[in-house]
């Protein structure tokens, strides 16, 4: 069983980027009514990924524990997830291709965190916690769509737990 921990930019760095308002180059605009954050985050891709795609995932919340049975990765592109009106969500990644001796890392992201997986990073699908959550997802796609997403069944289910939401 894996226990999810709060996400941080440093802990997530081997797998991708965590983008937040106020973390990057900031400046006040519109007579001080808006704080603009210019983040250094990029959505990397290789030469096979030629078109930028925007998708939406409307995700029902998991309750108390997740039983993962597959992992996925996107060999040619980063993948970005941006929550809308989320409380918390679960981010699960592997340091390399999943195998029984390679445990995943599980993070709890807040509703203001944007997660960008690096190209090729193995991860579980996005998981809402606490409430139904709509996510926008953006990534580059190949011309024929082959290998845009590669799925891998896990040899045995892996459980993930997380702390209850603070009252």
Is residue 73 one of the residues assigned to a domain? yes
- Residue 156 has a pLDDT of 95
Within a domain: residue 147? yes
Expressed as residue numbers, the domain containing 17 is 2-161
| Structural domains counted in the chain | 1
| Domain contains 140 | yes
- Mean pLDDT across the chain, nearest whole number? 92
Give tens-digit pLDDT for 80-123.
999 998 899 999 999 999 999 999 999 999 999 999 999 999 99
What SS3 class is residue 52? strand
Whether residue 11 is contained in a domain is answered as yes
pLDDT tens sequence across 39-71: 888 888 888 889 999 999 999 999 889 999 999
DSSP secondary structure string, 125-146? PPEEESS-EEEEEEEEEESS-T
pLDDT at 37 over 90: no
How far is the C-alpha of 41 from the C-alpha of 86, rounded, in Å?
Answer: 21
| Res 144: pLDDT | 87
The answer on pLDDT for 165 being more than 80 is no
pLDDT at site 146: 81
| Residue 166 located in a structural domain | no
Within a domain: 167: no
Structural domain contains residue 150? yes
> Does residue 166 surpass a pLDDT of 80?
no
| CATH code of the domain in which 74 resides | 2.60.120.480
Residue 133 inside a domain? The answer is yes
Separation of alpha carbons 164 and 11, rounded Å? 21
pLDDT band at 160 (very low <50, low <70, confident <90, very high): very high
């Amino acid at each position: 069983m894996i226990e999810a921990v709060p996400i941080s930019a440093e802990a997530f760095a081997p797998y991708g980027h965590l983008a937040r308002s106020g973390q990057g180059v900031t400046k006040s605009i519109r007579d001080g009514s808006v704080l603009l954050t210019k983040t250094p985050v990029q959505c990397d891709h290789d030469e096979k990924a030629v078109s930028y795609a925007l998708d939406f995932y409307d995700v029902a919340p998991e309750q108390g524990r997740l039983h993962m049975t597959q992992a996925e990765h996107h060999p040619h592109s980063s993948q970005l997830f941006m929550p809308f009106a989320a409380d918390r969500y679960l981010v699960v990644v592997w340091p390399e291709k999943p195998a029984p001796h390679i445990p995943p890392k599980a993070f709890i992201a807040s509703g203001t965190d944007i997660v960008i997986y690096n190209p090729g990073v193995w991860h579980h699908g996005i998981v809402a916690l606490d409430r139904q959550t709509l996510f926008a997802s953006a990534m580059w796609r190949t011309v024929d769509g082959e290998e845009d997403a590669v799925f891998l069944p896990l040899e045995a289910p892996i459980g993930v737990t997380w702390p209850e939401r603070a009252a």
